[in-house]
Structure 1
Amino acid sequence: MLLTLLTLLFLASLLVVVHSTDPAFNDDVLGLIVFKAGLTDPHSKLTSWNEDDDNRCNWVGIQCDPRTNRVSELQLHGFSLSGHIGRSLLRLQFLRVLSLSNNNFSGTINPILAQFETLRIIDLTQNSLSGSIPDELFRQCRSLRAISLAQNNLSGQIPDSLSSCSTLEGVNFSSNQLSGSLPSGIWSLSGLRSLDFSDNLLEGVIPLGIESLFDLRTVNLRQNKFIGQIPQDIGGCLLLKSLDFSENSLSGGLPESMQRLSLCISLNLRGNSFNGEVPDWIGDMRSLERFDLSANNFSGPIPNSIGDLQFLKELNLSENEFTGSLPESLTSCINLLALDVSKNSLTGNLPSWIFELGLQTVSLTGNKLTGTMEFPSVSSMAASFQSLQILDLSSNSLSGEIPLVIARFSSLRFLNVSQNSLIGSIPATIGELRTAQVVDFSFNQLMGSIPLEIGGAVSLQELRLEQNFLTGKIPSEIENCSSLTSLVLSKNNFTGPVPLAIVNLTDLQIVDLSFNNLSGTLPKELTNLSHLVIFNVSHNHLQGELPVGGFFNTIPLSSISGNPSLCGSVLNHSCPSVHPKPIVLNPNSSTNSNGTSFSSNLHHKRIVLSISTLIAIGAAVFIALGVVIVTFLNLQVRSSMSRSAAAAFTMSRDDDFSHSPTTESNYGKLVMFSGDAGFVAGAQALLNKDCELGRGGFGAVYQTVLQDGRPVAIKKLNISSLIKSQEDFEREVKKLGKIRHCNLVALEGYYWTPSLQLLINEYVCSGSLYKHLHEEQSNNCLSWQQRFNIILGTAKGLAHLHQANVIHYNIKSTNVLIDNLGEAKVGDFGLARLLPTIDRCILSSKIQSALGYMAPEFACQTVKITEKCDVYGFGVLILELVTGKRPVEYMEDDVVVLCDMVRGALEEGRVEECVDGGLSGNFPAEEAIPVIKLGLICASQVPSNRPDMGEVVRILELIQCPSEGEWV
């Protein structure tokens, strides 16, 4: 009440201040100052907005019309502002441009935006707006030319009134959660030039009538659920330059009218179910620069007419069923930079003319190409020598040797010729590939040794030579490849020791030297490799003691098996002691060489033994006493909570739960961050077992309904005896209440008494991830795409938490909830902040159900608890989602730890067997395997080896969209 009164007084004083000036000044200044008053401005970007400044046209983000001196543009892009878009902006009667993009505005879209008579551009991109798009926003569409609501949390259907906004030229609703079908009259917007509904949940068929959009330049419906065919009249959009229907469920062939799109620059139909042959008329689309038909069911030969696309820069026909050979007409595509025809059924010899085109990317993997790696004359390849960056010829039937000329590709970053039938030796010129990051010669028939010149490849990050006939020693020159993260040399005939030089490769994560003839001892300095995830030296002839410390304390036995002369505590095989020469004692003497009596020594040992015994007994008694005390305190707390709960429920029945906030000395304090504070069924519903949703380490959760109709989940905390003061409790809860993200369960409010605390959370209808994965009554097995989306959504939620400096502490599948759209929402975050200190004993007892998810640093009092403990739990969660197994499985006579099981399977080359059998093999291995590897890296024993959650999100997005990057 006091805050409201102060605000009114401030506004009243403002009106007095500006009363003497002209009305235009009054309206503009008052509208802007009131708008600012409702915002949070963390970086003080709006400091210049001061009512004492006569010239508001000089305020940051403000532009005025020079003729009228009225505010015409409000552009606050990237100011990190938060709050709601209020009615005060209506005073800006001459506003033409409203841009609030890349901020943190929340709430729903205010329909008052429709009341601006002069507004031409609305840009609310990249905020946290939610709810549906109001239908009235477009009913009085006067002068609106462009609107962007992209990258928010909007849901519901696209309003039909959009079709009546005839002035619109640009519409962008991408990256939301919009559903339903396209409005039937969408193509009646005859002035439309750009339309982007990508990355939503739209479905149904794409309606006919698009030919009426004569001015249309760009259409993007990527990543939705559209079915049916491309509209047959698409060719009527003669000015169309970019068309993206990728990642849908469209089928059929390419409509013939499409050949009329002679101005089209970009055509992307990736990831649908199109079939049949690509028609010859495709060459008539002569302006094409980017052409992507990948991941469909196209068949037949690649048409020769594709050579008529002389402006073509990127051609992607991968993951189809194309047959025949590559058409030589491609040599006419003189601007081509990227060619990807991988994973088809192409035959014939590897065409040498490919290397005369000056390409940057060549991917022919997964075909049936034969012949040798013969390159044309050096003079004709000059352009390729300078430009080629990615060359992937793997998984074909190529033969012959690796040519020496390969070293002339001075810009090469990725070279993969694995899984062919190549013979000969590795050329010494490999050391000249100074920019190469990945070199993969695995699964061939190469012989000879690794050339000493390998050290010249100074940018190398991954070297794979497994499954060949290579011999000799591993050269110590490899230490010059200081960026190396993966070294895989397994299943060859290497001899000699594991070189000490390897310990200088401090970025190494994967080392696989298994199934060779290596001998000698392992360097003890290997323990300094702090990023190791895999170190496999099984099936060699190594001997001596296994290094002690770091990764080697938990190394899987499968990684060192087949070396009978290795010893160490991990192997349960103690190393033979080195005994000193025997000492000849004087039989008449009763003292040792130091003059001490042997009987005295024996007596000393007995004393030590007695003290050790006493300490053990004392510790046992102390632990038992602690258990009794904690049990007694818990009983007291529960009794107190029950009494307090009863009082609160009585209050609720008497209508004392009023609007937020309410403070009563007898009943406590209820605060709601938004909406009505009362409960429809009364708070006594919390005592009803039928309303209980579950129980966790911090308390039980119940479902009820607020007076405004919102269902909520109420957590009754059982940590009253440990909790902070009311002031500290409320401060921490309010901080948590401000954290909003589409992948986090929103905290709606709280209730406080000294003995009872309730947290009021958003209700998520589809239950926990644990239920979907492990409970028998859950009949709907999650698909791979659903699992991947849950992994990505959880990662985004955790990343947002960490950006807000909040550690979750309790990541597990019961705390990841699934909404009605299948999206993940992370709950129970930040509850440990309510404790007076992060006491690990208390905390671990509260989250003891998280067995298997807890990072090892919880057991070490000297290691700081950071966000990396969340990363560890998330890594276990990844493996749980992919495998469908619990983090710890208890068998009749064994305990199976999920991380160890998956890591062992990865090392043995059978990681695909770990994927949940419920998927019935219906999953993309190129996604599943990297996801599993990411899970193992996140669950590394060493915190510094784990990536942060922002990096995890970027890696997952790369795995999902491999064309944008490489991640193995």
Structure 2
Amino acid sequence: MSLKLVSLLLLWSPVFVLSLNPVFNDDVLGLIVFKAGLLDPEAKLRSWNEEDDSPCNWVGVKCDPRSNRVSELALDGFGLSGHVNRGLLRLQFIQRLSLSNNNFTGSINPDLAHIGTLQLIDLSQNGLSGSIPDEFFQQCGSLRVVSFAKNNLSGKIPESLSFCSALVAVNFSSNQLSGNLPSGIWYLRGLRELDLSANLLEGDVHQGIGYLYDLRVVNLGTNRFSGWLPQDVGGCSHLKLLDFSDNLFSGGIPESIKRLGFCRSLSLKGNSLTGQVPAWIGELRSLGMLDLSCNNFSGGIPGSLGNLRLLEKLNLSMNGFTGSLPESLTNCFNLLALDVSRNQLVGKLPSWILKLGVGRGRLEYNPLRPIAASHGRLQVLDLSSNAFSDVLPSDIGVLSSLQFLNVSRNQLLGTIPVSIGNLTSAYVLDLSNNWLNGSIPSEIGGAVSLKELRLHKNFLTGKVPSQIQKCSSLSSLLLSQNNLTGPVPAAIANLTNLQYVDLSLNQFSGSLPKELTNLSHLLYFNVSYNHLQGELPVGGFFNTISPSSISGNPSLCGSVLNLSCPAVHPKPIVLNPNSNNTGGGSSSLTHGHKNVFSISALIAIGAAAFIAIGVIAVTVLNMHVRSSMTHSAPLPLPGGEDFSCSPSTDSKYGKLVMFSGDADFAAGAQALLNKDCELGRGGFGVVYRTVLRDGRSVAIKKLTVSSLIKSQEDFEREVKGIGKIRHHNLVTLEGYYWTPSLQLLIYEYIPCGSLYKNLHDGPGQSGLSWRQRFNIILGMAKGLAHLHRMNLIHYNLKSTNILIDSSGEPKVGDFSLARLLPMLDRCILSSKIQSALGYMAPEFACQTVKITEKCDVYGYGVLVLEVVTGKRPVEYMEDDVVVLCDMVRGALEEGRVEECLDRKLLGNYPAEEAIPVIKLGLICASQVPSNRPDMSEVVNILELIQCPSEGHED
């Protein structure tokens, strides 16, 4: 009998099942039906044969040896997809069902929990969607462990969860669950583990948790819970892990926590907790990890922390702690990670800090003083941006386990100790921005694991030792702004992993080694302002090197510099870089005249032609769209507007959801789209300002792509996903409104308008200082880097989508809105091309090229140039079209730096920052995607460029 026929008959003809041979038992039937609804690309279930009398020898199946019935089905990580169908309901004696780490989709079958013997069900790490059925927990029998973690579930946690009195472990983490905690959850008195982290849950965590005496693990981190921490949490006396991190909790640390004598891990980071850390924190003697970072704690660090002898990780960073580090911490012999950065600590760095077995030490941004090195197992040491004025310890090499050393931006004196070569495990060594002198010791070659060597902005002299070639993993070599002499060593060419090399502003002489062309991974190479001479290497990266990276060397020659070198053969009469003619003759030579078009001219002509074609295409598309829209009547909306490209059916209901706070508006729903409060229009919709009942302003975006919007379920899932994206430099989505014909997105209101307005419109246009502009450039980079870390692409970068808050910080808006659309239709494409002209990467015009994060990097590069120059990406003159990238590149190549800066900045900007920023913008706006850096690299480069004396001007 075929598998398909058995499946159909089992599902639709129970009478037939009763007439089958008894040997062909329910377990075989149920599993065969389950398999019939699956895709098994790796043939993991090939041993499942419907002809077998028993499934006990099938892969993933375990049976009770006495009854010979299936007791466990474990198919974790089998790569299966499809639905979890009703076939599993035939397994009436199963106790454990584990299908985690597959690709199952669809909703959760509420009948699964009704199998009388089922004790564990694990459907985590799949693609399940929809809500958790309330019926699932209404007859949960003997169910003890349930995990739906890492799916796409939405909706509320069902109140019926409290009916399952036998539950021991519940894990719903990493979904999109919303709403409040069920009121009866604290009645599960047998509960030992509760993980609801990484959801959209909100509201207060009410008291009652203290009644769960058997609780071992509570993780409510990364949600939107607010109010005070539950005051009775100390009643869970057996707790080993307590995580309330990354929420909106306020107030102080509940005193009852001091009763958690068995707690090993306590994390309260990322909230708005205030007050002093109580001295009784030292009574939690079992703590191995304590994280109180990113709050508003004040006062001194309690000395009682020294009583935590088992402590391995201590993070108190980003608070308002004052005073000095307590001497008692020397008793924390097991400390491996210490972070007290970004506080207001003063005094001397305690002498015990390197005597501990510390694995990670971060003390940056505190005015502390250094100490001599001593033995230890230190792995990461960051003392950057302080006021150290001592010399580097000569015996620093005893820290043989050190992997990361950063003492940059201090006032360190003396020479680099030769023992630096003993740091054989170090992969980052940053001594930049100090007053170090002497030469780079040849022993540096002993640091064989180095990936980044940063010695720039010191007073180093002498030659670069050839032994540096032993650091074969080196990817960044930054030696600029010193007094280094001699030739650029050929040994550098052996460092085949090099990506960033900066030797500028030194005293190097001689010619550049030809072997440098072998560095196939080079992204940046700068030798400007030295005394180099001779011909530039030809080939590889050096064929496209920016002239600014080799400027300030009068004796250098080569085609990039438009300066011929002495040679046996005369310079050819014709130079046509776009010619594919490889023969012996030239058409220009044949006609007896030169080709007068330079590379810049050809680029300008090409750009103008591209723009002209784009304008014509946009016009044709708009005419087509307007023509097609005349056949359907627009839907009238609040505010007296017509809603183009929308369905003609009226909405029967509206759904308003706020992720946190009051969902009511001061003047009711009719004020949502008040035309008098219009803020602006963009490619995805019109934006209005309105006021919540609590007096807080919000921005309402009315989406103008309604005919392309996904279903309500898909729309809400995507919107809730966007709502979870939080970063200091991203505009926060606070809620949404849905009807079939109208979709609104509710954002935080940013008071100071867009970057476009601040640069080009109004009386204050281009009134931004250099420091303000640099902060905007850096903030935009951080926001985009955060998006890209979450595998999200913006798609629509432009200065109107960058908003400026009251403190001058930039916030990137309109990100990920393309995720709301199943396809990009002409209705949206036309408006996007019009509004983003000049920001769009060249690959947008090629349907065969994959759209990646590098498209955002291109738009960011154009934004950088727009901020620095105060000019629009494309400007239409009376008889010309000026493309900003081409204009800046040409001016920079010809040494006309002043033309690359806003006139209001002239005479009031640091050239050591401005010029590298302009170059970075041009690199980001490269025509070739692979030449553009990642946004995380951009952030690192900007922080490297940034002068240590921030805010010294203006």
Letter in 1 for 2:260: L
- The separation in 1 between residues aligned to 2:138 and 2:245, in whole angstroms, is 32
Q: Is the 8 A contact 1:308 1:333 kept in 2?
A: yes
Q: 1:452 to 1:479 in 2, by over 3 A?
A: same
1:124-170 Cα shifts (integer Å, max 9, x gaps): 11111112222222222322212111111112222222233322211
Q: 1:259 to 1:935 in 2, by over 3 A?
A: farther
- The separation in 2 between residues aligned to 1:220 and 1:934, in whole angstroms, is 42
Q: Is the 8 A contact 2:861 2:923 kept in 1?
A: no
Letter in 1 for 2:356: L
Q: Which residue of 2 aligns with 1:870?
A: 852
Q: Is the 8 A contact 2:347 2:368 kept in 1?
A: yes
Q: Which residue of 1 aligns with 2:335?
A: 336
1:459 aligns with 2:449: yes
Letter in 2 for 1:134: P
Q: 1:342 to 1:642 in 2, by over 3 A?
A: closer
Q: Is the 8 A contact 2:81 2:105 kept in 1?
A: yes
- The separation in 2 between residues aligned to 1:706 and 1:307, in whole angstroms, is 58
Select the residue among 568, 574, 585 that pairs with 2:563. 574
5 Å matches for 1:559-598?
A: 559-571=549-561, 573-575=562-564, 577-578=566-567
Letter in 2 for 1:358: G
Q: Is the 8 A contact 1:361 1:390 kept in 2?
A: yes
- The separation in 1 between residues aligned to 2:411 and 2:67, in whole angstroms, is 77
- The separation in 1 between residues aligned to 2:814 and 2:527, in whole angstroms, is 46
Structure 1 residue 114 displacement after superposition: 3.9
Q: 1:883 to 1:278 in 2, by over 3 A?
A: farther
Q: Is the 8 A contact 1:530 1:942 kept in 2?
A: no
Structure 1 residue 421 displacement after superposition: 2.1
- The separation in 2 between residues aligned to 1:261 and 1:512, in whole angstroms, is 54
Select the residue among 514, 517, 520 that pairs with 2:507. 517
1:476-508 Cα shifts (integer Å, max 9, x gaps): 221221111111112211122322222222211
Q: Is the 8 A contact 2:62 2:73 kept in 1?
A: yes
Letter in 1 for 2:564: C
Letter in 2 for 1:515: L
5 Å matches for 1:68-217?
A: 68-217=67-216
Letter in 2 for 1:313: E
1:445 aligns with 2:435: yes
5 Å matches for 1:283-362?
A: 283-362=282-361
Select the residue among 350, 364, 371 that pairs with 1:373. 371
Structure 1: state its 5+ residue gaps: 583-600, 614-619, 650-678, 683-691, 696-700, 714-738, 744-760, 800-809, 833-845, 905-912, 915-930, 960-968
Q: 1:708 to 1:282 in 2, by over 3 A?
A: closer
Say which SS state the counterpart of residue 354 (structure 2) adopts. helix
Letter in 2 for 1:431: G
- The separation in 2 between residues aligned to 1:347 and 1:553, in whole angstroms, is 52
Q: 1:550 to 1:6 in 2, by over 3 A?
A: farther
Structure 1 residue 361 displacement after superposition: 1.9
Q: Is the 8 A contact 1:873 1:939 kept in 2?
A: no
1:700-737 Cα shifts (integer Å, max 9, x gaps): x9644999977999xxxxxxxxxxxxxxxxxxxxxxxx
Structure 1 residue 450 displacement after superposition: 0.6
- The separation in 1 between residues aligned to 2:149 and 2:343, in whole angstroms, is 36
Letter in 2 for 1:487: L
Structure 1 residue 407 displacement after superposition: 1.1
Q: Is the 8 A contact 1:872 1:940 kept in 2?
A: no
> With structure 1 as the length reference, what TM-score do the two structures score?
0.68
1:255 aligns with 2:243: no
Structure 2: state its 5+ residue gaps: 572-584, 598-604, 633-646, 651-680, 685-703, 723-739, 762-775, 802-810, 826-832, 893-900, 903-916, 942-954
- The separation in 2 between residues aligned to 1:391 and 1:335, in whole angstroms, is 17
1:611-630 Cα shifts (integer Å, max 9, x gaps): 999xxxxxx9xx99xx99xx
Q: Is the 8 A contact 1:693 1:702 kept in 2?
A: no
1:90-120 Cα shifts (integer Å, max 9, x gaps): 2222222221111111122222224323222
Q: Is the 8 A contact 2:6 2:33 kept in 1?
A: no
Q: Is the 8 A contact 2:865 2:884 kept in 1?
A: no
5 Å matches for 1:499-898?
A: 499-571=489-561, 573-575=562-564, 577-578=566-567, 605-607=589-591, 681=649, 703-704=706-707, 766=745, 826=819, 853-854=840-841, 870-876=852-858, 889-891=873-875, 894-897=882-885
Say which SS state the counterpart of residue 160 (structure 2) adopts. helix
> With structure 2 as the length reference, what TM-score do the two structures score?
0.69
Q: Is the 8 A contact 1:312 1:335 kept in 2?
A: yes
Q: 1:81 to 1:899 in 2, by over 3 A?
A: farther
- The separation in 2 between residues aligned to 1:957 and 1:119, in whole angstroms, is 51
- The separation in 1 between residues aligned to 2:587 and 2:217, in whole angstroms, is 92
Alpha-carbon RMSD? 5.7
Say which SS state the counterpart of residue 361 (structure 2) adopts. strand
Say which SS state the counterpart of residue 352 (structure 2) adopts. helix
Q: Is the 8 A contact 2:648 2:741 kept in 1?
A: no
Select the residue among 407, 426, 429 that pairs with 1:417. 407
Q: 1:536 to 1:63 in 2, by over 3 A?
A: same
Structure 1 residue 180 displacement after superposition: 1.9
Q: Give the share of equivalent positions with the same residue, in percent.
A: 52
Letter in 2 for 1:895: V
Q: 1:603 to 1:322 in 2, by over 3 A?
A: closer
Q: Is the 8 A contact 2:324 2:346 kept in 1?
A: yes
Q: Is the 8 A contact 2:263 2:286 kept in 1?
A: yes
Q: Which residue of 2 aligns with 1:661?
A: none
Structure 1 residue 956 displacement after superposition: 12
Q: Is the 8 A contact 1:742 1:797 kept in 2?
A: no
Say which SS state the counterpart of residue 484 (structure 2) adopts. strand
- The separation in 2 between residues aligned to 1:693 and 1:5, in whole angstroms, is 56
- The separation in 2 between residues aligned to 1:508 and 1:332, in whole angstroms, is 43
Q: 1:937 to 1:11 in 2, by over 3 A?
A: farther
- The separation in 1 between residues aligned to 2:381 and 2:524, in whole angstroms, is 27
Structure 1 residue 375 displacement after superposition: 3.8
- The separation in 2 between residues aligned to 1:500 and 1:36, in whole angstroms, is 63
Structure 1 residue 547 displacement after superposition: 4.0
- The separation in 2 between residues aligned to 1:106 and 1:955, in whole angstroms, is 37
1:393 aligns with 2:383: yes
- The separation in 2 between residues aligned to 1:236 and 1:941, in whole angstroms, is 62
1:616-663 Cα shifts (integer Å, max 9, x gaps): xxxx9xx99xx99xx99x999x999999x99xx9xxxxxxxxxxxxxx
- The separation in 1 between residues aligned to 2:81 and 2:403, in whole angstroms, is 43
Letter in 1 for 2:278: P
Instruction: Kindly indicate which of the two structures has a greater share of residues assigned to helix.
Output: 1
Structure 1 residue 297 displacement after superposition: 1.9
1:164-215 Cα shifts (integer Å, max 9, x gaps): 3322211111111122222222222211111111111222222111111111
Moved more, 888-897 or 28-37: 888-897
Q: Is the 8 A contact 1:40 1:82 kept in 2?
A: yes
- The separation in 2 between residues aligned to 1:603 and 1:339, in whole angstroms, is 70
Q: Is the 8 A contact 1:889 1:897 kept in 2?
A: yes
Say which SS state the counterpart of residue 455 (structure 1) adopts. helix
Q: Which residue of 2 aligns with 1:21?
A: 21
Q: Is the 8 A contact 2:171 2:196 kept in 1?
A: yes
Say which SS state the counterpart of residue 396 (structure 1) adopts. coil
Structure 1 residue 520 displacement after superposition: 3.0
Q: Which residue of 1 aligns with 2:643?
A: none
Structure 1 residue 556 displacement after superposition: 4.2
Q: 1:712 to 1:271 in 2, by over 3 A?
A: closer
Moved more, 543-552 or 251-260: 543-552
1:278-335 Cα shifts (integer Å, max 9, x gaps): 1111111111011111122222222121111111111111222222222222222222
Structure 1 residue 793 displacement after superposition: 5.8
- The separation in 1 between residues aligned to 2:471 and 2:137, in whole angstroms, is 61
Q: 1:37 to 1:680 in 2, by over 3 A?
A: farther
- The separation in 2 between residues aligned to 1:447 and 1:76, in whole angstroms, is 63
Q: Which residue of 2 aligns with 1:752?
A: none
Structure 1 residue 448 displacement after superposition: 0.5
Q: Is the 8 A contact 1:871 1:939 kept in 2?
A: no
Structure 1 residue 82 displacement after superposition: 1.1
Q: 1:880 to 1:264 in 2, by over 3 A?
A: farther
